[in-house]
Amino acid sequence: MEAKRLKGLTYNCFMYMMAKGMLNDQNNTIKGLASFIYILTVNEGCSRQEMEDCVVYFFEEYSRGLSTPLPESYVRSTIAPAVLTERNFDVPLGASIYAIATKKY
């Protein structure tokens, strides 16, 4: 997948989750993002690298609201493994986020 498309879809995912208040709780954030990535991968055949990049793009957006942005190295070494090993997917939620992300991209 083109990096531009992946960034755009991830941005739309972030905006949806922010609007729904899903970023206020770490568990909801991880579950929502993991569910989105699962559906994204099923529909678009993302590689492991693209899944990790999706997490990085998501937390780049998240970091814009922080006084000290999260370093990419921290996101790749700590947050990405937590998201990508999450197995408690909410498939309907992931499908909803994916549908909205693709409509707005």
Q: How many CA atoms lie within 13 A of 52 on its CB side?
A: 11
Rounded Cα distance between 5 and 17, Å, is 18
Residue 105 has pLDDT above 80, yes or no: no
Interior/surface letters 27-63, b for 16+ CB within 10 angstroms, e for the rest: ebbbbbbbbbbbbbbeeeebeeebbbbbbbbbbbbbe
The predicted structure's pLDDT at residue 65: 87
Q: How confident is the model at residue 79 (pLDDT cuts 50, 70, 90)?
A: very high
Q: Averaged over 78-104, what is the pLDDT?
A: 95
Report, as an integer, the average pLDDT of 76-95: 96
Provide the phi-psi class of 28: left if phi over 0, else alpha when psi is between -120 and 50, else beta.
alpha
Q: How far apart are CA 82 and CA 90, in angstroms?
A: 16
Q: Within 13 A of 75's CA, how many CA atoms are on the CB side?
A: 18
Query: So what's the pLDDT on residue 104?
Result: 74
Characterise 83 by phi-psi region: left (phi > 0), alpha (psi -120 to 50), beta (else).
alpha
Q: What is the pLDDT of residues 4-24, one digit of tens each?
A: 999 999 999 999 999 999 999
What digits encode the pLDDT tens for the residues 40-51?
999 999 999 999
